[in-house]
Amino acid sequence: QLPEPVAYGFIARWASTIRNETNLPLSVSDIHTGELIDKITDRAAMSRWREVVDFFDIHVYRPPNISAGSNFLAPYELATDVPLVFGEAGASRDEGIDRVGVYRSIENLANSSDRVRGVYQWGLINDEYGLMTENGRVRQDDVIAVWRSFEPRN
């Protein structure tokens, strides 16, 4: 793993080169690791990366229980004006997980801020978060049913 300053320098040069060729929006995934609250409150990291990205991309897998009407993203809104995408999100297929509750929390989180521009399901076929088994042969119908009910505002 590269030290953050080295990674930042590499990505900043990469972004500059790409911007000379196209107008595509650019981002990097999870500039801060850890819990969701850590990701949305690291003002120093957001300020540093602001010059490189057009939107922030965070991963949301184990969100806290977030109710409709929550202002959970208020710290993010205070820290930056950059749009936000949940570039990876999903509910675990592990036993005992309230998949409906996880998707509702992700939905409520997405709907809590106009800065959120999209939510992407992590993988059709992937470890414990996919919509199909890892070999791609068996649909996880219980997870797919919950996923289909997910309707973020943006």
pLDDT, tens digit, 9 for 90 and up, residues 78-108: 989 999 999 888 888 777 888 888 888 988 9
Q: Is the pLDDT of residue 77 over 90?
A: yes
| Residue 127 near residue 134 (C-beta atoms within 8 A) | yes
Residue-wise pLDDT tens digits, 1-16: 788 889 899 999 999 9
Give residues with Cβ within 8 angstroms of 142, minimum separation 6. 99
For residue 125, pLDDT beyond 70:
no
Q: Residue 104: exposed, middle, or buried by beta-carbon count in 10 A (0-12, 13-18, 19+)?
A: buried
Label residue 82 exposed, middle or buried (CB < 10 Å: 0-12, 13-18, 19+). Answer: middle
For the question of whether the overall pTM of this predicted structure is more than 0.85, the answer is no
Residue 108 · residue 152 · CB < 8 Å: no
